[in-house]
Structure 1
């Protein structure tokens, strides 16, 4: 919302000081216009870009210069335009272009503190459309937003789209390893021992004894059993890994948003308005 704040000063020095105060308060010089009363021939500057301008007697005519400026602000309300034009006939004008109402209020306060005159007291008329006057309050601000064509609110509605994707939820890993454990087994083993036994006898030799009465040799071998160990491998279990696939139905619940537009009629039938639809006053 564009707002134009205007302050009328009796002399140029106060107007220049008001401009400096505005700059010190944070306003940029590009948004401040200064129109000074001068005897030199000059015209009223462009209210959107000119920083300083001088004004002659011809400029006070409501048909040109300052008169046109106020006519552009007040639209078809010639009374208000003429009232402000008359108030600036012998004074200087500071115009501030604000973007918000808070910024406009701040600019108006700075202009009031700098000594802006009360136009309503100088040229009293019905003052239902300007800031409420007081002994120290002279600046007024106007809503100068111009319609730039149709304004559109886009109505956006979200739709829920449900798809599928595969995610990893777990699994099974089989890992084989070799372990050793001690075992024991009992076995009976046979062992042979050769023994020599000598017996003393005293008897007559027989023919058999005599036949054996010659050199000879007897040999007897010992044997014993020892453990023989061997291993056999036997498959005792088989472990298989596979998948069982099942399907299930799931209800997905979420919220979707959409734009809803409420249309309110903000027309204030009790508030006076200018004839022009594109120019209104902001009030306090």
Structure 2
């Protein structure tokens, strides 16, 4: 059950401090509305419209946005007028609570922050309001729900896991020719003809006389020179290929879904008597 808690403050600093105290107590900031003296009408021209239908007589002035807002909350013209007059010179803090415990906690925080007791100032507004109701400082009330059927959409997220190929690396082979100096040792043989003349003094013999005629002797020199040639030999083979492996991987994530709690409030929905009020005081 949604509840709306309101607190009226004499000055803006108290109202701001009350908002900070509410947030420090764990309440969500988006559920808290702060309207200062200078912008009450502008703020509640937007804010009160979220409270759905208003409870006002046909002859009531509908030109006041703040009055309409309080009328939609209280349904009691006296209480609505009292709070409307109080906020003309004060600042307003509105808390949209989700549970009654949260509403009571918010009301206590607003009271501790200095929320004024509107009915203590009833004499100031007596000429403008009817009979006073019970004493109240920060007050909370049921938020009116629209007539007709309402729907809560149940949404559930599902995890879908697919695959895509990404590049993780690779190998590139590039060949080039490089030259480097080498050296080898080899032994070479070389011939040289030498002529040796020896002086002699002896009588010629018959052999010497037989050889005493024209003649020629030739002797050829030889030497070894290096002969260079090259041979090519395959010394290594480099191959490129792929090895493919497969593995199982567990994907972990979080999915959300809507859960709806259904409370049967049949016994608590009995009609209220004319003296019943939907606004409760925390004081």
Shift in Å, 1:185:
3.5
TM-score (normalised: structure 1): 0.52
Shift in Å, 1:156:
2.6
Shift in Å, 1:116:
4.9
Report the 3-state secondary structure (helix = DSSP H, G, I; strand = E; otherwise coil) of the residue aligned with 2:232: coil
Contact in 2 for aligned 1:141/1:282 (Cα 8 Å):
yes
Choose which of 81, 102, 106 in structure 1 pairs with 2:110.
106
Which whole-Å CA distance do the structure 1 matches of 2:237 and 2:112 have between them? Answer: 90
Compared with structure 1, are the counterparts of its residues 205 and 255 closer, same or farther at alpha carbon in structure 2 (3 Å cutoff)? closer
Report the 3-state secondary structure (helix = DSSP H, G, I; strand = E; otherwise coil) of the residue aligned with 1:261: coil
Compared with structure 1, are the counterparts of its residues 222 and 240 closer, same or farther at alpha carbon in structure 2 (3 Å cutoff)? same
Shift in Å, 1:175:
4.0
Shift in Å, 1:205:
7.0
Report the 3-state secondary structure (helix = DSSP H, G, I; strand = E; otherwise coil) of the residue aligned with 1:143: strand
Specify which structure has the higher proportion of helix.
2
What is the RMSD computed on CA atoms of the aligned residues? Answer: 5.2
Choose which of 205, 226, 229 in structure 2 pairs with 1:228.
226
Provide Cα deviations, 1:50-88, integer angstroms capped at 9, x if missing partner.
Answer: xxxxxxxxxxxx99549x97765434xxxxx37648x95
Which whole-Å CA distance do the structure 2 matches of 1:181 and 1:239 have between them? Answer: 24
| Unaligned 5+ runs, structure 2 | 17-34, 46-56, 62-66, 98-105
Compared with structure 1, are the counterparts of its residues 200 and 268 closer, same or farther at alpha carbon in structure 2 (3 Å cutoff)? farther
Which whole-Å CA distance do the structure 2 matches of 1:82 and 1:233 have between them? Answer: 115
Contact in 1 for aligned 2:190/2:222 (Cα 8 Å):
yes
Contact in 2 for aligned 1:192/1:223 (Cα 8 Å):
yes
Report the 3-state secondary structure (helix = DSSP H, G, I; strand = E; otherwise coil) of the residue aligned with 2:168: coil
- 1:117 partnered with 2:117: no
| Unaligned 5+ runs, structure 1 | 8-17, 34-45, 50-61, 76-80, 128-132
Shift in Å, 1:239:
1.6
Contact in 1 for aligned 2:14/2:114 (Cα 8 Å):
no
